[in-house]
């Protein structure tokens, strides 16, 4: 049985949506499924408001879905530390807060929630403590894809909701209709969420030239410039529709996290990026490609290859090679058209594999559950 505790989650929005996307989802789940009391400290409420419409960009305190959301202003207002303190992605806690943790008579668990990686050292480093000033200890909590890691964020009812949605064409049609979309008979539905990516143009060319029609759904974001350029346009915005050959393109508004899940569930193939959308696409049980966040000195390639190694462990050699080629082309900008067409030969295997992978990940447990268990065990 889990203890009911108070949690402080600290999030600095470095750029994009991943940092707040992960912490907001985790905060909600700790409240909804584990009955925990959660404060989420966010330094950038404007970015938060994009994910959570209805949010005030100026309020120092507000409640959303049972989470006490605090603006983490540059001047620290002072606060009694919670029982469990999570600094997300190595953000720096306020010095006064750390002092208050050290002075507290309660035992306070301090965790750094790390970025997601499939590299093999993660299992060895997960949950290790490190000594901090004032005699405090901090534990490094690593999400991951294997037993012995912190798992992935997954809501308890997610798979059931996803399966109900995917098995009911009426739900899919209604969701798409809410964006004024109808699926053309026989068309392949694809979502696209990526950074600026030179691989996009060749890939769009392959889709336009394909015998089977495709409908590409692109929520507003950084990749739109590449799509516009390929179409010969200066810019694109939500609501725009274009067609070239067998390809129809629809630009959608940036949506809520729940809507974005449904978009992923609707599609036959999902192009995702970063960390959070990458995980959500895995829960969709459909083939995907990952535009990994580029890091200095190409460190992201190690992460990408480590994931592919794990993901393809029980996949036959031919689809393995085809998938690897397409992921490489997608991330290094060249050869995406040919690699896409080659990969389509293995569509059936890759579909079945995506579903198998989802269930393998479910068997690893989930991040929020593992955090709560870790705290209960630590007490
Ligand atoms: O926005 P990102 O590129 O975030 C990245 C990564 O997290 C990366 O690891 C980190 O280092 C960097 O930021 C600073 O991609 P990510 O992680 O997929 O986050 C996107 C979030 O946006 C995710 O929660 C899904 C959500 N989303 C919506 O809610 N609506 C939408 O329409 C779309 C396209 C995404």
Question: Does residue 368 register a pLDDT over 80?
Answer: yes
Q: What is the pLDDT of residue 1?
A: 58
pLDDT digits (tens, 9 = 90+) for 150-184: 999 999 999 999 999 999 999 999 999 999 999 99
Question: Does residue 77 register a pLDDT over 90?
Answer: yes
Give the count of beta carbons closer than 10 Å to the beta carbon of residue 305.
15
For range 65-77, the mean pLDDT? 97
Q: How confident is the model at residue 336 (pLDDT cuts 50, 70, 90)?
A: very high
Alpha carbon nearest to ligand 1 atom 22, residue: 17
Architecture (CATH level 2) of domain 6-153+366-373: 3-Layer(aba) Sandwich (3.40)
For range 297-312, the mean pLDDT? 96
Q: Is 42 in contact with 11 (CB distance < 8 Å)? A: yes
Q: Is 34 in contact with 5 (CB distance < 8 Å)? A: no
Enclosing H/E stretch for 30:
helix 18-34
pLDDT digits (tens, 9 = 90+) for 78-114: 999 999 999 999 999 999 999 999 999 999 999 999 9
For the CA of 293, the closest atom of ligand 1 is: 8
Question: Does residue 2 register a pLDDT over 80?
Answer: no
Q: Note the helical H segments in 120-256.
A: 121-125, 158-166, 169-177, 199-209, 224-231
Q: Quote the Cα angle for 42-138-85, to 5°.
A: 35
Distance 2 CA to ligand 1 centre (A): 30
Q: What is the pLDDT of residue 15?
A: 85
Is the CB of residue 52 below 6 angstroms from any atom belonging to ligand 1? Answer: no
Q: Is 241 in contact with 250 (CB distance < 8 Å)? A: yes
Q: Is 93 in contact with 10 (CB distance < 8 Å)? A: yes
Is the CB of residue 254 below 6 angstroms from any atom belonging to ligand 1? Answer: yes
For the CA of 24, the closest atom of ligand 1 is: 24
Beta strands in 99-212 (DSSP E): 109-113, 128-131, 137-141, 188-192
Question: Does residue 5 register a pLDDT over 90?
Answer: yes
Residue ranges covered by each domain of the chain: 6-153+366-373, 158-362
Distance 23 CA to ligand 1 centre (A): 11
pLDDT digits (tens, 9 = 90+) for 242-269: 999 999 999 999 999 999 999 999 999 9
How many CA atoms does the CB half-sphere of 245 hold within 13 Å? 12
**Angle (deg, nearest 10), helices 367-378 and 18-34:** 60
Q: What is the pLDDT of residue 140?
A: 98
Q: What is the pLDDT of residue 302?
A: 96
Distance 185 CA to ligand 1 centre (A): 31
Tell me the C-alpha distance between 310 and 324, whole Å: 12
Question: Does residue 136 register a pLDDT over 70?
Answer: yes
What are 23's two structure tokens?
């912490």
For range 304-324, the mean pLDDT? 97
6-153+366-373 and 158-362 in the same fold: yes
Question: Does residue 213 register a pLDDT over 80?
Answer: yes
CATH 3.40.50.2000: does it fit domain 158-362? yes
């Amino acid at each position: 049985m889990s203890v009911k505790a108070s949690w402080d989650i600290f999030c600095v929005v470095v750029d994009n949506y991943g940092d707040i996307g992960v912490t907001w989802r985790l905060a909600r789940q700790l409240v909804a499924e584990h009955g925990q009391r959660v404060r989420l400290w966010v330094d950038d409420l404007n970015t938060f408001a994009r994910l959570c419409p209805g949010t005030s960009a100026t309020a120092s305190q507000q409640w959303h879905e049972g989470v006490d959301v605090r603006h983490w202003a540059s001047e620290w207002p002072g606060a009694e530390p919670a029982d469990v303190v999570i600094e997300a992605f190595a953000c720096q806690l306020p010095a006064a807060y750390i002092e208050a943790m050290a002075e507290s008579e309660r035992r306070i668990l301090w965790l750094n929630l790390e970025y997601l990686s499939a590299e093999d050292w993660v299992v060895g480093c997960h949950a290790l403590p490190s000594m901090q000033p004032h005699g405090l200890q901090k534990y490094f909590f690593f999400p991951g894809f294997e037993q012995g890691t912190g798992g992935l964020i997954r809501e308890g009812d997610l798979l059931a909701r996803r399966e109900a949605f995917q098995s009911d064409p009426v739900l899919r049609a209604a969701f798409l209709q809410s964006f004024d979309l109808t699926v053309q008979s026989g068309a392949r539905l694809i979502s696209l969420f990526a950074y600026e990516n030179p691989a996009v143009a060749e890939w769009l060319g392959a889709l336009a030239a394909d015998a089977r029609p495709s409908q590409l759904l692109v929520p507003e974001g950084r990749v739109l410039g590449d799509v516009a350029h390929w179409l010969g346009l200066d810019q694109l915005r939500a609501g725009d529709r274009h067609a070239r050959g067998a390809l129809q393109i629809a630009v959608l508004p940036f949506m809520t996290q729940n809507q974005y899940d449904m978009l992923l569930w609707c599609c036959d193939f999902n192009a995702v990026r970063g960390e959070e959308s990458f995980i959500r696409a895995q829960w969709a049980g459909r083939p995907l490609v990952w535009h990994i966040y580029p890091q200095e000195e190409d460190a992201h390639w190690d992460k990408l290859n480590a994931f592919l190694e794990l993901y393809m462990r029980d996949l036959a050699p031919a689809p393995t090679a085809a998938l690897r080629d397409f992921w490489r082309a997608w991330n290094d900008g060249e050869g995406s058209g040919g690699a896409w067409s080659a990969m389509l030969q293995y569509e059936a295997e890759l579909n079945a594999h995506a579903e198998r992978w989802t269930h393998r990940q479910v068997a690893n447990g989930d991040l929020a559950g593992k955090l709560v268990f870790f705290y209960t065990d630590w007490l």
